[in-house]
Amino acid sequence: MWPFSSRTPKTFSPERTSLLPQTSPENPSRAAKTTPLTEVERIQRNNDFLKEALDVRDADTLALASQHMEPVLSALLDPDRPVLQVISDGGSWRYSVKHTQPKDLDNLMALGRFLLEHKQRAAFHVLTASVLKLRHHPDHPRMGELLQVCGEAIQQKKKPDESVLRAVRNIAVQCAQRNLVSHDVLALFYPRMQAARDTLLSRLGATPEQCQQVLAHLELRNALDHLLSADPPLLAVYSNDQGGQSYAVPPGSDTSGSFDQAIWIAYRLLDLKVADAAHLLAALSCSARNQGGQEVDLLKACGKVLQQAPAGFSPRFLKQLSQRACELAASGSLDAECLRDFELAAQRHEALDSQVLLCRQRIQLDLQRLQRLKSPQERNQLASRLMSEILSAHLLMRQHDEANNDAIELMTNLLGIGAAHKAPWLHVVQSALKDLAPSAPH
């Protein structure tokens, strides 16, 4: 809104804070008592409105407005039925639209376009007030046209009112989501949105060809722009102090649909084989911590995706995901197959510490399952496999830490289960344990 500055020579009486006579809804007869203005008075009123309420000071623009905008202004400022109202409110101007009949919108658009064409900042106020009047009717047939011209006015305004800008942006986003306006119209409300999208895709390792594929995928492009248009953006990649990258994603507890939208985006970028899309999916998985089934589903997806991801996946991310997978597996929320997927992913990305962690947890889960088995035949088959896996794990664990005794502990647990069930394979496990640690008790 424009400040009511000292350069405004005209003052208004307390009972008439608006530039237009007020018609009270409680007193409709007042309109009938309005004395029609003479042509000279009407032109003077229109000029006063342009200068004081719309801050049009350029003499040439005022002359053109008098010549071409007189019917439009007279219709908008008709005291019997004012369409555009501008009221002095605590030292600033407040703009509002009262009627939206087709002719009213024609006149508002005409005035807005005139002001925009002549680089008058008031174009922003006239057009945003028109859009806000239709805020509850996003499917109005004129909304798309209004939003386009309004977006152009926002580009021209140096310091638009933030609250008004936020409100019309929200309307533009709603219309774009419902395919009522094009992506290009939405982009007018977010002049830095394209740069933000390009930056995001670049930091995710997208090639120029993949960026073009994103642009050609209208639904994907609109979904990205929706998250990027938030303040601050709901999706971003930042360089961190460790020389790596940090990922900003919506919170997993989000109920607005933004988190689900971000997941959908991650899967689409994976479909396009964008290099670091797996990192984005991993960040979403971390964000979904304690979100029940959604977290489990994301972890399962990550375990499979990371087996195919380009080598060099972030060790920090992989360790964080692996630890969480182990926690959920220990609580019974995740199966051993998922741990095996992460284990293979850790092997692919040469993350030895994560591989050891996952291997140990997976074997522990199988040991617990072995204890619960009732069938001797099934117990014998699983015990045979476990003994072999523990021996392999011992070699892996010693690569990670030469003093590591986890494999000895696992084999000892296997021996204990065999003893409890008087298993026929007991002596084989005893021999294996002796090979692992000759001095180990048995």
Question: How many percent of the chain have pLDDT more than 90?
Answer: 56
User: Which of the four pLDDT bands, split at 50, 70 and 90, describes residue 102?
Assistant: very high
Q: For residue 135, what are its two tokens?
A: 């805020």
End-to-end CA distance of the chain: 84
Give dist(CA 172, CA 189) in Å, integer: 8
Residue 280 placed within a domain: no
Say yes or no to pLDDT of 55 above 50: yes
| Residue 185 within any structural domain of the chain | yes
pLDDT digits (tens, 9 = 90+) for 389-411: 999 888 888 887 776 788 899 99
Q: Are 147 and 172 a contacting pair, CB within 8 Å?
A: yes
How many domains are there within the chain?
1
- From the list 281, 336, 289, 329, the residue with the least C-alpha distance to 309 is 281
pLDDT of amino acid 357:
92
In a domain, 269, yes or no: no
Mean pLDDT on 149-177: 86
Cβ contact 156:124 at 8 Å: yes
Q: Compute φ and ψ for 125, nearest 5 degrees.
A: -70, -45
Residue 61 falls within a domain, yes or no? yes
Q: Is residue 409 part of a domain?
A: no
Place of tokens 């009938």: 32
Tell me if residue 238 falls in helix, strand or coil.
Answer: strand
pLDDT for residue 383: 92
What DSSP assignment string belongs to 288-312?
TTT-THHHHHHHHHHHHHTTTSPS-
- Residue 307 inside a domain? The answer is no
DSSP class of 237: E
Q: What percent of the chain has pLDDT over 70?
A: 90
Q: Is residue 143 part of a domain?
A: yes
Question: 107 is in which domain, residue-wise?
Answer: 1-13+36-190
Q: Residue 321 domain-assigned?
A: no
- Check residue 25 and give its pLDDT: 46
As beta bridge partners, residue 238 has 246
- The mean pLDDT value for 364-391 works out to 91
Looking at residue 276, what is its pLDDT? 94
Strand 92-97 vs strand 84-89: parallel, antiparallel, or unpaired? Answer: antiparallel
Yes or no: say if 387 and 393 are a contact pair by the CB < 8 Å rule: no
Q: Which helix (H) or strand (E) holds 246?
A: strand 245-248
Helix (H, G, I), strand (E, B) or coil at 216: helix
Assessment of whether the complete model's pTM goes beyond 0.75: no
- DSSP labels, 75-124: HHT-TTS-SEEEEEETTEEEEEE----HHHHHHHHHHHHHHHHTT-THHH
Of 27-41, 182-196, 232-246, 372-386, the one with minimum mean pLDDT is 27-41
Mean per-residue pLDDT, 345-372:
92
Q: Is the dihedral of CA 225, 228, 229, 230 positive or negative?
A: positive
What is the model's pLDDT at position 42? 85
Q: Binning pLDDT at 50, 70 and 90, where does residue 438 land?
A: low
Distance CA 92, CA 359 (A): 68
Residue 262 backbone phi and psi in degrees, to 5: -65, -40
Question: Are residues 306 and 349 in contact, defined by beta-carbon separation less than 8 angstroms?
Answer: yes
